[in-house]
Amino acid sequence: MFRKLILFVLAMSIVVANAAFAGMVVEVGNAGGNESVEDQLSRGMYMDSSDLELPDDGGLQVIGLRFLDVQVPVGVEITNAYVVFTVEDISGSEAVNLIIDGELVPDAPKFTEADYDVSSRTRTQAKVEWQPGAWTTANQKQQTSDISAVIQEIISQNGWSPGNAMAIMISDNPDNPSVGVRVATSGTGKTTVLHIEYVSKRAFMPNPADGDYYRDTWASISWNQGENAASYDVYFSENRVDVEAGAESAFLGNQPGTFFVVGFPGMPYPDGLVSGTTYYWRVDSVDADGTTKHEGFVWSFSVAPKTAYAPEPAEGAESVDPNVVLSWQPGFGAIVHTVYFGDNFDDVNNATGNLPQGTKNYTPGTLEMAKNYYWRVDEFEPPFTHKGDVWSFTTVGAVESLDPVNGAVDVKQTPILTWTPGVNSASYEIYFGADKEAVKNADTSSPEYKGSGNRGSESYEPGQLEWNTTYYWRVDEANNANADSPWTGPVWSFTTANFLIIDDMESYNDINEGEPGSNRIYLAWLDGYDNPAVNGSVVGYSTAPFAEQTIVHSGNQSMPMAYDNAVGKSEATLTLTSNKNWTVNGVDTLTIWYRGNSTNSAETMYVTLNGSATVDNDNPDAALTSGWTRWNTPLQAFADQGVNLSNVNSITIGLRSGNGGSGMLFFDDIRLYPPAP
């Protein structure tokens, strides 16, 4: 049976805030309304509640609190965090035992009226117990236990950015059910407040913000001081690699202050920053001893281009509303804009003579469903006109790429291309090739034409593809009963990987066992579920989705594996049905990405090929690693144990007992790499 790993931090409720501490403080008030909701498990969602009953209001419920614009930087250490409630109703001393966790996404979406919208969300592994005492005075402030572990897990995700939204959930403790209830006010302002304290030895809060567009040719660049920092080594360049490496060419020097200027006479880049160019920078904090350094993040900003950019809808967008209003960011220095719009690429690309406009949006009128449209915005910066790129989108009802998604990279070399049918589809024509223009212009007489199929057969297998190559594909729809038929589809692209994918965990689904297309992860990776006396592993969750869909290294899924080494070992085995030749293209390294948790038990991690050749992870505490970690193993280590690398039949990942402990691990992106060039 699946056992969730829970980090419990037990503390009693306190009324007054913590006194002195070092570091920065962020406080965010809950906006109330639909940002403060009750998931009444037996009765549906209760939105816009005026009060919050913890944890029962005629039935158990889960409280959802969504805090907006949480300005916590990337990479900092959370030292203390809690939620402050305002007492609504005076309560007795009946025991209330709660669990606080958070939604494990980098930017929490809005709560909706869908049943179980709070309780069904993916939650943090970190969970905190809270046992509030009696609430004896109305309007009194009540503080939760320290939830810093929950906040740390949320901000440590890829995609977290200052200003993102964060959702906190509060529910009854199933191992120690509540007897009483505590009632808090739900409303705007300071009624409910998220308090976060953090420190960082590295510089943080870059200005301009990381990834921003900047609309000037000079910049005053600043950051917040790292803890204990006495000075800073500053790097700045158009070359990211040089900044990452700390190259001499990017080094501006060591300085005591927390800002510098570029693009101004007498400063770096004295001739000014260049429109359309991305600049990278890094600040290493140096302690007072002059030798202890804390390497900073590589940040970037781009000087806005002269052409229009950031179109909305985005380039290649699908399922766009036929009543869309187009908008864009104006080119640097532009004062007026000229829009060209149509359903033919060449016509839009070659168009001239439209009247300019001062606004940054354009309404083309009600569009046809299931159709491709193209548009272009030219920017006038006296006396120059800067011709824009041609952007495209497809209105709702058209065929859509499903897998790989448009623009995907690191795709396996034997993909199965799939798409969703359009509303008018009866049949399809498929076009595929490595030349974008050829695919775009192809017809049924072209070599890019790969055949046709009827509705219900929305897939195509192009066969073995080259490594590290971009391919293009197009699906045209047809329906003889419709006078507008056929409909030319958009051109999609993907790029194959420069490595061999053994398992990226993306193919697994939740279709019932025995039904066509079923491919559940625990049926591919055989664990110890049916033989727990010998093998203590359990792959996948007990309910759908069975694969992990939030804690991922790349793509949309990873493999969760619980382990309990009281029986000596925990392992899961995949029998290979393809990619059995581990010598192709000179591959020489097996890579496995894994992620553990600091609360796991330290056990020896290993990988085995063909059930016989085993190599251990060099890190005895690998299971305790809380971030995604790359584990490289030379294939020669298996060959030395007698494995025929041209015929690998199975791969096993496991943990051997050292302490007889248990925990939860996630695995993703099992790959074979050739030697570095």
What are the DSSP calls for 516-555, one per residue?
TT---HHHHEE-STT-TTT--EEES-SSSS-SBSSS-SSS
Q: Which amino acid is at 16?
A: V
Last-in-domain residue among 286, 303, 320: 303
- Three-state DSSP state, 395: strand
User: Which residue carries 């024509």 as its tokens?
Assistant: 429
Q: Does residue 357 fall inside a structural domain? A: yes
pLDDT tens for each residue of 547-604: 998 888 888 899 999 999 999 999 999 999 989 999 999 999 999 999 998 789 999 9
Beta-sheet strands, E only, within 440-503: 449-454, 459-460, 470-478, 492-496, 500-503
**How many angstroms separate the CA atoms of 541 and 536, rounded?**
15
Q: How confident is the model at residue 7 (pLDDT cuts 50, 70, 90)?
A: very low
Q: What's the DSSP call for residue 34?
A: G
Query: 81 and 55, same structural domain?
Result: yes
Quick check: 5 pLDDT over 60? no
Give 53 or 92, the one with higher predicted confidence: 53
Q: Checking DSSP bridges between strand 36-40 and strand 44-46, what pairing results, if any?
A: antiparallel
Question: What is the reported pLDDT for 15?
Answer: 25
Question: Above 90 in pLDDT, residue 302?
Answer: yes
Q: Hey, is 237 helix, strand or coil?
A: strand
Statement to judge: residues 385 and 437 lie in one domain: no
Is residue 374 one of the residues assigned to a domain? yes
Cα(463)–Cα(440) distance, rounded to whole angstroms? 21
Residue 162: pLDDT band (50, 70, 90) is: very high
Strand bridging mode 10-12 / 219-224:
unpaired
Counting runs of H as helices and runs of E as strands, what totals does the chain give?
6, 49
Tokens of 131: 């046992």
Look over the chain and give the mean of its residue pLDDT values, rounded to a whole number. 92
- Domain assignment present for residue 630? The answer is yes
pLDDT for 6 equals: 28
Token pair 């501490």: residue: 21
We report the CATH number of the domain holding residue 17 as 2.60.120
| Residue 366, pLDDT above cutoff 60 | yes
Residue 12 has pLDDT above 60, yes or no: no
135 shares a domain with 27: yes
Mean pLDDT of 277-285: 97
- The pLDDT assigned to 399 comes to 86
Sheet holding 361-362, edge to edge: 309-312, 326-329, 361-362
> Do residue 461 and residue 588 come from a single domain?
no
Amino acid code (one letter) for 256: P
Q: What's the CA gap between 345 and 87, in Å, rounded?
A: 62
Res 20 pLDDT > 60: no
Instruction: Map residue 33 onto helix, strand or coil.
Output: helix
Helix (H, G, I), strand (E, B) or coil at 151: helix
Domain annotation covers residue 1: no
Which domain CATH number covers 606?
A: 2.60.120.430
Q: Which of 126-135, 463-472, 479-488, 663-672 has the lowest mean pLDDT?
A: 479-488
Tokens standing for residue 270: 């004295």
154-170: average pLDDT = 93
3-state secondary structure of 430: strand
- β-bridge mates for residue 136, sequence order: none
Same domain, 80 and 126: yes
CA distances in angstroms from 562 to 1, 223, 536, 537, 667, listed in the order given: 10, 41, 8, 6, 11
Do 642 and 529 share a domain, yes or no? Answer: yes
pLDDT of 505 strictly over 70: yes
Measured distance between the N- and C-terminal CA atoms of the chain, rounded to whole angstroms: 46
Q: Looking at 277, 303, 329, which one is the last position of a domain?
A: 303
pLDDT at position 189, please?
64
Q: Are residues 287 and 350 in the same domain?
A: no
**What is the pLDDT averaged over residues 108-126?**
90
* End residue of a domain, out of 199, 231, 247: 199
Say if residues 360 and 340 touch (Cβ distance below 8 Å).
Answer: no
Could you tell me if 414 and 319 lie in one domain?
A: no
* Residues 86, 188: Cα–Cα separation, whole Å: 11
d(CA 399, CA 370): 7
In this predicted structure, the answer to whether residue 346 has a pLDDT above a threshold of 90 is yes
Asked if residue 288 has pLDDT above 90, the reply is yes
Tokens representing 530? Answer: 């049916």
Among 99-103, 398-402, 655-659, whose mean pLDDT is lowest? Answer: 398-402
Q: What total number of domains does the chain contain?
A: 5
Residue 268 located in a structural domain: yes
Average the pLDDT over 243-250 and give the result. Answer: 95
Q: In this structure, are 135 and 103 located in the same domain?
A: yes
Tell me which of 121-130, 220-229, 475-484, 615-624 is least confident: 475-484
- Report yes or no: 73 and 134 within 8 Å, Cβ to Cβ: no
Q: Per residue in 292-329, is it b (16+ CB within 10 Å) or e — as a string? A: ebbebbebbbbbbbbbbbebebeebbbebebebebbbb
- What is the pTM for the complete model shown? 0.67
In whole angstroms, give the CA distance from residue 604 to residue 624.
11
DSSP letter string over 552-592? -SSSS-BEEEEEEGGGSEEEEEEE-SS---TTGGG--EEEE
The enclosing H or E element of 653 equals strand 650-656
Residue 109 and residue 54 in one domain: yes
Contact 235, 250 (CB under 8 A): yes
What are the φ/ψ torsions at residue 414 (nearest 5 degrees)?
Answer: -125, 65
Q: What is the distance between the alpha carbons of residues 516 and 504, in angstroms, rounded to a whole number?
A: 22
Query: How far apart (Å, rounded) are the C-alpha atoms in residues 499 and 412?
Result: 8
pLDDT over 90 percentage in the chain: 79
CATH label of the domain that carries residue 256:
2.60.40.10
Residue 299 sits in the same domain as residue 314: no
Residue 598 has a pLDDT of: 79
Helix (H, G, I), strand (E, B) or coil at 80: strand
Whether residue 234 contacts residue 283, with contact meaning beta carbons closer than 8 Å, is answered with yes
Q: Which residues, 6+ apart, have CB-to-CB distance to 407 below 8 Å?
A: 316, 492, 493, 494
21: confidence class by pLDDT, cuts 50, 70, 90: very low
Report the alpha-carbon distance of residue 329 to residue 23 in Å, rounded.
37
Q: What residues contact residue 485 under an 8 Å CB cut-off, 6+ apart?
A: 424, 477, 478, 479
Judge whether residue 43 has pLDDT over 80: yes
Domain housing 323:
309-395
Q: Please tell me whether residue 379 adopts helix, strand or coil conformation.
A: strand
Q: Within 13 A of 667's CA, how many CA atoms are on the CB side?
A: 30
Assess whether pLDDT exceeds 50 at residue 271: yes
pLDDT tens per residue, range 594-644? 999 878 999 999 999 999 999 999 999 999 987 789 999 999 999 999 999
Domain-embedded: residue 383: yes
Answer whether residue 542 is part of any domain: yes
Q: Is residue 5 part of a domain?
A: no
Which residues, 6 or more positions from 379, have their beta carbon under 8 angstroms from its beta carbon? Answer: 306, 307, 308, 330, 331, 334, 337, 385, 386, 388
One domain for residues 428 and 570: no
- As a whole number, mean pLDDT of residues 413-433 equals 92
